[in-house]
């Protein structure tokens, strides 16, 4: 999305003032530990996101950007702590600047403040994964599958898929529950309707027969079909406009009381008592067996978990699950309880039969008790209400099944016939005392009350159907969502798996050319297994070395970012990753980044100078594409191996008599410089297995290589008959020889007194000429125009030219 052209850091973290010119190209920041490399990473992250991940997350309690973002000496001046980036936005063809201070971390200044530019910065800010540090690398490779799944899902921005799935699951669950809950009101309304119409069931033929018989009494036309809008009282004139009568309808009351008597009779019947006793004995049998009782409890827990599963997490332990896998997991456990489940099923069947009779009685009680206060005189129906509530409680307990002890108690109580006959008798007598309605009045009451009950039943049926339709719709959408997203995610992981394997093979083609990997999404996890030399697939940490694991982490990251951003993957920061990777494979990584991601700007930090050289040699980093920090102080921040800074520092130390410090700095600088010369001029340096070379190992061969270049250049010019060039080279060679002699480098092995080991013990007056001589020598090995150290091209094979970066010095080394 962006490429960084330049970064300016001011009073931020460990940096006082620093500007790096990245030119939108790959860039390396190298230096020993504690020299400020991570400050650059923090600055990049902060400028683009407003956050510093090093100061947040697990283990960073008490740290914050506000308090610890500014340099320690500016901690009370957050407005002075800022980072400015100049960037190129390739997709827009624009250049822009983002300036962010710690004081206004959430409100950066963007120039130009165009909407499309802001959109790009907003997109980058939302995803700080452009920085890969070793801790993320470890998370991708070595973390548990559940955590890896979250990390990868977050990186691929798949959280929205999970969010929608959770919402759809929640809606489906709620719809299903609502649908279940509306079953009972419809059933009750049906019972009330059947009772009111004096039919045994809601068979339309029988129902219409009863209705039309009353309509005939009132000379109303027959109703031939019962549609959704048919009115049983159609054509009936009423003083109250067709509403139900306010007085007690004797006929209806007698019907309801009769229904109540029958329902209570059922509960008092010997067969009901037998059913209750049989169910109770079955429960007691189960309760006496501790193993079976525990199994019933566990089985109930599992069924509850299935019911309460929200589609994303176990309701008991909050473990993340996909719906399919959770059901599979629980079903497998339920199989262990098959025997006790069968016994439970039989008992539940017994419970259902008993509950239905209780529910019928409960509905009859509700219908009957409403007459109590309406009668003259009123009849106390408290006992009816009390028993109605007890029946509801028993029915609910039997529906719940557990605890068994309570169900057993309910069955024992239910088997005892209630003593409601006194209240029932009072009601019956009071109703009987009501004057007999005329046939017309009775018919009218029948139709009015019937219509009222019918409308209630219709409303309940409609609401239930609507709820069932919703539940079915939600379930279908959820099911399809699961199928489609699972297939899509599998395809994504397969693509990433392929890309990762390709990248890793490229880096490790020397010994793992047949490498394959398996990214396996399952059960809310992301399994990650890799081939180990054809012996099978295992977790990366099982058999592969730490170096190989580092390589895997980087390759997986690149595969994920490539998949996520595709052509928009233009910027990434690799913060000292590949620490454990050997030099050979690091070289391959350089080649990989250059070849496979040519349009991505990589900013790489490393403490390893050899890897910096690999990056340069492999062409991943161009000349000028690196910053080499040599030290850090709290007062100055990081200090580069920059000529001017180094000589100023050395000369200042000498001037103030600190010869020892100056000598140390001079030596370290010359070691750094000599390494550069040896690398650039392809000098012959004595091999050390530990790659540790002192100044004495480096500078003499470096100067020898310069001398050889002069000789070869003169020889080549001579062969071409180019006398002016020969003379020019000779003149430079003489200058170089003089400068070289002044440094006494060639005397180091012969004269201990001039050896660099003795510099620290020299007097100031004796050391000053040493400094001057080396300063002159170093200056002579750089182009005065581009300030770059000379180099030989190509880096391998026959030497063809000795030149500088700007080309003003360009000496052919090829003879005729």
Partner 1 sequence: MTHSFGEGLMMDTLEESLPIPEAAPSTVAHGVLDTFFTELEGTDGFDAVAKRLRKVVLTDGSFAETAIRQALFDEDAAP
Query: Which positions touch partner 1 (CB under 8 A)?
Result: 1, 3, 23-25, 88, 90-91, 93, 123, 156-161, 163-164, 167-168, 170-171, 174-175, 178, 470, 473-474, 476-477, 480-481, 484-485, 488-489, 492, 563-568, 570, 598-599, 622-624, 722, 725, 728-729, 732, 735, 780, 783-785, 790, 801, 803, 805-812
To partner 1, the closest distance from the beta carbon of 6 in angstroms equals: 15
Judged by beta carbon, residue 223 or residue 489, the one nearer partner 1 is 489
Per the structure block, which two tokens stand in for 776? 């002159």
To partner 1, the closest distance from the beta carbon of 49 in angstroms equals: 17
Per the structure block, which two tokens stand in for 370? 């409403």
To partner 1, the closest distance from the beta carbon of 782 in angstroms equals: 8
Helix (H) or strand (E) holding 755: none
Judged by beta carbon, residue 36 or residue 713, the one nearer partner 1 is 713
* CA-closest candidate to residue 266, choices 173, 361, 168: 361
* CA-closest candidate to residue 427, choices 662, 250, 601, 673: 250
Per the structure block, which two tokens stand in for 307? 């019911």
CA angle at 414 for the pair 409 and 418, rounded to the nearest 5°:
130
To partner 1, the closest distance from the beta carbon of 90 in angstroms equals: 5
Judged by beta carbon, residue 473 or residue 494, the one nearer partner 1 is 473
Bridge partners, 519 (sequence order): 528
Q: What is the DSSP letter of 482?
A: H
Judged by beta carbon, residue 274 or residue 785, the one nearer partner 1 is 785
Please give the Cα distance from 663 to 767 (Å, whole number). 8
To partner 1, the closest distance from the beta carbon of 209 in angstroms equals: 38
Judged by beta carbon, residue 48 or residue 257, the one nearer partner 1 is 48
Which residues, including other chains, have CB under 8 Å from residue 237's CB and lie 6 or more apart? none
To partner 1, the closest distance from the beta carbon of 164 in angstroms equals: 6
Judged by beta carbon, residue 493 or residue 629, the one nearer partner 1 is 493
CB 204 within 8 A of CB 226: yes
β-pairing, 626-633 vs 27-30, is: parallel
Judged by beta carbon, residue 415 or residue 813, the one nearer partner 1 is 813
Bridge partners, 70 (sequence order): 12
Q: Which residue has the tokens 């440094």?
A: 743
To partner 1, the closest distance from the beta carbon of 504 in angstroms equals: 22
β-pairing, 626-633 vs 537-538, is: unpaired
To partner 1, the closest distance from the beta carbon of 188 in angstroms equals: 21
Judged by beta carbon, residue 35 or residue 179, the one nearer partner 1 is 179
Judged by beta carbon, residue 156 or residue 449, the one nearer partner 1 is 156
The DSSP-derived string for 257-313 is HHHHHHHHHHHHSHHHHHHHHHHHHHHHHHHH-HHHHHHHHHHHHHHHHHHH--SSB
Please give the Cα distance from 65 to 69 (Å, whole number). 4
* CA-closest candidate to residue 699, choices 639, 749, 650: 749
To partner 1, the closest distance from the beta carbon of 566 in angstroms equals: 6
Please give the Cα distance from 2 to 8 (Å, whole number). 16
To partner 1, the closest distance from the beta carbon of 808 in angstroms equals: 5
Per the structure block, which two tokens stand in for 46? 């902060």
To partner 1, the closest distance from the beta carbon of 560 in angstroms equals: 10
Judged by beta carbon, residue 282 or residue 739, the one nearer partner 1 is 739
- 126: helix, strand or coil: coil
Kindly report whether the peptide bond that precedes residue 11 is cis, defined as omega within 30 degrees of 0. no
To partner 1, the closest distance from the beta carbon of 740 in angstroms equals: 14
Per the structure block, which two tokens stand in for 33? 């530990």
Q: First vs last Cα of the chain: how many Å apart?
A: 50
Judged by beta carbon, residue 66 or residue 118, the one nearer partner 1 is 118
Longest Cα–Cα distance of the chain, Å, equals 145
């Amino acid at each position: 999305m962006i490429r960084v052209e330049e970064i300016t850091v001011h009073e931020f973290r460990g940096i006082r003032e620093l500007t790096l010119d990245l030119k939108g190209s790959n860039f390396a920041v190298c230096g020993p530990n504690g020299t400020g490399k991570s400050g650059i990473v923090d600055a990049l992250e902060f400028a683009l996101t407003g956050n510093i991940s090093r100061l947040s997350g697990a283990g960073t309690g008490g740290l914050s950007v506000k308090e610890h973002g500014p340099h320690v000496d500016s901690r009370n001046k957050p407005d002075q702590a800022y980072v400015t980036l100049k960037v190129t936005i390739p997709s827009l063809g624009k250049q822009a600047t983002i300036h962010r201070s710690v004081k206004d971390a959430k409100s950066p200044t963007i120039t130009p403040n165009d909407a499309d530019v802001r959109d790009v910065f907003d997109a980058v800010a939302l995803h700080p994964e452009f920085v890969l540090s070793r801790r993320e690398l470890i998370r991708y490779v070595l973390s548990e599958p559940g955590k890896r799944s979250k990390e990868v899902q977050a990186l691929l921005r798949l959280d929205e898929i999970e969010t929608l799935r959770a919402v759809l699951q929640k809606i489906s669950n709620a719809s299903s529950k609502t649908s279940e809950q509306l079953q009972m009101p419809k059933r009750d309304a049906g019972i009330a309707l059947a009772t009111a119409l004096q039919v045994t069931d809601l068979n339309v033929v029988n129902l219409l027969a009863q209705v039309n018989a009353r309509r005939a009494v009132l000379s109303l036309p027959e109703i031939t079909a019962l549609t959704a809008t048919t009115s049983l009282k159609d054509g009936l004139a009423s003083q109250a406009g067709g509403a139900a009568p306010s007085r007690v309808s004797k006929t209806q009351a007698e019907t309801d009381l009769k229904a109540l008597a029958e329902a209570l009779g059922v509960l008092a019947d010997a067969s009901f008592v037998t059913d209750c006793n049989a169910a109770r004995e079955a429960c007691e049998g189960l309760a006496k067996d501790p193993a079976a009782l525990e199994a019933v409890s566990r089985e109930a827990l599992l069924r509850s978990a299935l019911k309460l599963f929200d589609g994303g997490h176990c309701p008991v332990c909050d473990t993340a699950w996909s719906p399919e896998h959770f059901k599979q997991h629980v079903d497998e456990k339920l199989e262990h309880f098959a025997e006790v489940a069968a016994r439970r099923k039989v008992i539940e069947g017994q419970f259902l039969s008993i509950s239905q009779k209780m529910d019928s009685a409960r509905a009859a009680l509700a219908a009957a008790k409403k007459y109590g206060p309406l009668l003259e005189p009123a009849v106390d129906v408290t006992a009816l209400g009390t028993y109605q509530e007890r029946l509801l409680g028993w029915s609910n307990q039997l529906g719940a099944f557990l605890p068994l002890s309570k169900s057993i108690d309910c069955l024992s109580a239910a088997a005892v016939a209630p003593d409601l006959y006194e209240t029932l008798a009072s009601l019956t007598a009071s109703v009987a005392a009501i004057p007999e309605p005329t046939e017309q009045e009775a018919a009218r009451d029948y139709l009015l009350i019937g219509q009222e009950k019918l409308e209630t039943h219709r409303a309940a049926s409609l609401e239930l159907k609507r709820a069932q339709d919703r539940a079915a719709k939600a379930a279908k959408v959820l099911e399809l969502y699961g199928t489609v997203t699972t297939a899509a995610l599998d395809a994504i992981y397969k693509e990433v798996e392929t890309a990762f394997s390709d990248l890793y093979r490229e880096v490790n083609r020397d010994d793992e050319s047949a490498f394959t990997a398996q990214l396996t999404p399952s059960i809310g996890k992301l399994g990650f297994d890799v081939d180990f030399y054809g012996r099978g697939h295992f977790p990366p940490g099982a058999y592969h070395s730490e170096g190989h694991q580092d390589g895997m982490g980087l390759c997986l990251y690149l595969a994920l970012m490539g998949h996520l951003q595709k052509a928009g993957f233009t910027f990434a920061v690799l913060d000292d990753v590949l620490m454990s990777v050997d030099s050979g494979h690091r070289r391959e990584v350089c080649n990989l980044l250059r070849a496979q991601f040519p349009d991505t700007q990589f900013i790489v930090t490393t403490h390893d100078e050899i890897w910096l050289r690999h990056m340069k040699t492999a062409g991943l980093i161009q000349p000028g594409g690196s910053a080499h920090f040599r030290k850090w102080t709290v007062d100055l921040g990081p200090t580069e191996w920059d000529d001017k800074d180094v000589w100023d520092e050395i000369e200042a130390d000498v001037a103030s008599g600190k010869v020892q410090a100056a000598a140390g700095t001079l030596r370290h600088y010359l070691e750094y410089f000599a390494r550069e010369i040896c690398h650039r001029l392809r000098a012959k340096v004595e091999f050390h297995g530990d790659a540790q070379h002192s100044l004495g190992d480096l500078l003499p061969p470096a100067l020898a290589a310069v001398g050889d270049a002069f000789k070869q250049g003169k020889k080549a010019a001579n062969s071409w008959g180019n006398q002016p060039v020969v003379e020019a080279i000779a003149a430079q060679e003489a200058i170089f020889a003089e400068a070289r002699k002044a440094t006494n480098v060639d005397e180091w092995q012969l004269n201990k007194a001039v050896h660099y080991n003795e510099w620290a013990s020299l007097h100031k007056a004796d050391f000053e000429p040493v400094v001057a001589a080396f300063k002159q020598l170093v200056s002579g090995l750089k182009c005065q125009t581009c300030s770059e150290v000379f180099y030989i091209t190509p880096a391998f094979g026959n030497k063809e030219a000795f030149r500088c970066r700007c080309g003003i010095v360009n000496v052919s080394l090829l003879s005729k």
